[in-house]
Structure 1
Amino acid sequence: MRRLRAECPWTREQTHASLRHYVIEEAYETAEAIDLADSGHLREELGDLLMQVVIHAAIAESDDEGWSTDDVVREIADKLVHRNPHVFGDVTVSSAAEVDANWQRLKAERKQRTHPSEGIPKDLPALMAADKVLGRVDRPVEGDDLGARLLRLVAEARDQGVDPEAELRRATRRHADG
């Protein structure tokens, strides 16, 4: 990637902002490959997504932002060790649910959020954002406007263990297909 940044005019001109839409597009293409259960396609899309990580790290390095691919990998490794004390420490767990609860607790301790929507990307699809907020807020949804009714449907989906984004996507496809 360093060579591309040095020798390719297009790559050299790219910034984090100019590549933003590619990161999103590649993430959605990766999700679609997962939905299709197509391992070869998934491998390809994961490569495209990883390429985005590598090019963003190369931009940061060449623009003297103070970090590189090595720093990204180190941060991942540190996070995995910290959030998996049942593997790398002395915590005992007996189920995947306990692992998830412990992961969420450790994440919350580190982030120290002061508002339920803090840390939820503003561009996250609305159903996904609603699902995340409902997971953080323990109170009933108030109001009768359309937004409140939609939020209650997301809460109902959560209670049933259903991913509202995936469910609406399936229903939309069924409707489109007639």
Structure 2
Amino acid sequence: MTVILLDPLRPDTIPIPAVRHVAGPVVVTEDVNPFLLWELGEVSAATDEHIAQRDVTVVSTDRTHPVVRARIDLGDNVIEAKRAGGEALLDAVALMDTLRRNGPWESQQTHWSLRRYLLEEVYETLDAIATGDPDHLREELGDLLLQILFHSRIAADDPERPFDIDDVARAFTEKVSRRTPGILSGAHSDLETQIREWEERKAAEKQRGSVLDGIADSQPALALAQKVLERLSAAGYPVDSIDPDILTVTVRLGDDSVEDQTRRRILAVMEGVRDLESQAASEGIVLDSRDGWLQVMGVVEVSAGAPVGGPDSASTPDPIIDDGDADDIVVTAEPRRRATDPDAAPGDPAPTGG
């Protein structure tokens, strides 16, 4: 009087509570994997006759099978394999594969042609989060998943360096596993420790040549500016030397695109920072503090009211003095020749990115 429902994705795995029930008379529905038949030994095909034969165990992967459904309606004990989360993703992968092979539109798409749709789906997902509607969010996450499946399936067709959705999933699990060892091992559950571990392992993996490496240039200009400023601040860069216009957005009717203006300005800052990094490398200057950045910029930083330049200060340019409190910093810039620009004149400004 038992029905055993197997996981259709793992049809050769019998739940432990069901093991003792397969020792007696067993009938199987036609959907059961043939491999399992050899392991079960003597079995019969389930027919309508077995509906009333309550001393046999029915094994199936299909709850809707007529024999299974009838036996359940009669009150049989049901032992069902627990299904792992994520199984529905396999159906999604199979559907995407079919569309890529047979769909006239899907078969023509490229990573580049799908860029606009990917961006749209991200914004629509953000809108769904803002609404607080779970149904709306579920739908938009499905659309976003479509883009991931689509790009992964396109990549599988690459003749030189193919990868598929399994490679994408492995990239995720491997990266997160490397960066959260303490959490996964149970060594700790502290937020600050987790963040520190993540950042330390990320830095070790990336071995970045520039403080700006890894920043997506194609993100919206304001998000790009914020990310760049955050990264520079964390690296000790004197962000107060950056063009203040980058910190303010002014919208004027009939003016150029604010997005384009901001993007041009922040890209200029990024170019200047990379020039400074190149110059620092050639001069052996370590850019791990504000002092290091100022050194490569050729900037001398002194306290307000202090003499600038020493005995020969008469030949030193007047400092740029902040109008704030006495504790404010005064910066005097002796323009230096840019090492990466052989044609620069002695009076050319330092590449501060302003």
The reply on whether 1:83 has 2:182 as its aligned counterpart is: no
**Which residue is equivalent to 2:204?**
109
Are 1:86 and 1:92, in contact at CA under 8 Å, matched by a contact in 2?
yes
- 1:88 deviates by 2.6
- 1:14 deviates by 0.3
TM-superposition CA deviations, 1:34-71 (whole Å, max 9, x none): 12222211111111111101011111112333200010
Partners of 2:114 and 2:129 in 1: CA distance: 23
SS at match of 1:115: coil
Partners of 2:204 and 2:130 in 1: CA distance: 33
Partners of 1:52 and 1:34 in 2: CA distance: 18
Equivalent AA in structure 1 for residue 181 of structure 2:
P
Are 2:183 and 2:194, in contact at CA under 8 Å, matched by a contact in 1?
no
Equivalent AA in structure 2 for residue 114 of structure 1:
G
Distance 1:97 1:123, change over 3 A: same
Partners of 1:90 and 1:42 in 2: CA distance: 32
Partners of 2:116 and 2:243 in 1: CA distance: 35
**Which residue is equivalent to 2:147?**
52
Candidates 62, 73, 85, aligned match of 2:169: 73
Candidates 221, 229, 236, aligned match of 1:126: 221
Structure whose residues are more often strand by fraction: 2
Gap runs ≥5 in structure 2: 1-95, 250-354
- 1:90 deviates by 6.8
Q: TM-score, normalised by structure 1?
A: 0.75
TM-superposition CA deviations, 1:123-165 (whole Å, max 9, x none): 1112222222222222332155522x439xxxxxxxxxxxxxx
Structure whose residues are more often helix by fraction: 1
SS at match of 1:9: coil
Are 1:116 and 1:133, in contact at CA under 8 Å, matched by a contact in 2?
no
Let me know the Cα RMSD of the aligned residues: 2.0
Partners of 2:168 and 2:231 in 1: CA distance: 28
Q: TM-score, normalised by structure 2?
A: 0.39
Partners of 1:49 and 1:38 in 2: CA distance: 16
What is the percentage of aligned positions where both structures have the same residue? 40
Q: How many residues align?
A: 149
TM-superposition CA deviations, 1:2-61 (whole Å, max 9, x none): 211111110000000010111111111111111222221111111111110101111111
**Looking at CA atoms only, which structure, 1 or 2, has the larger radius of gyration?**
2
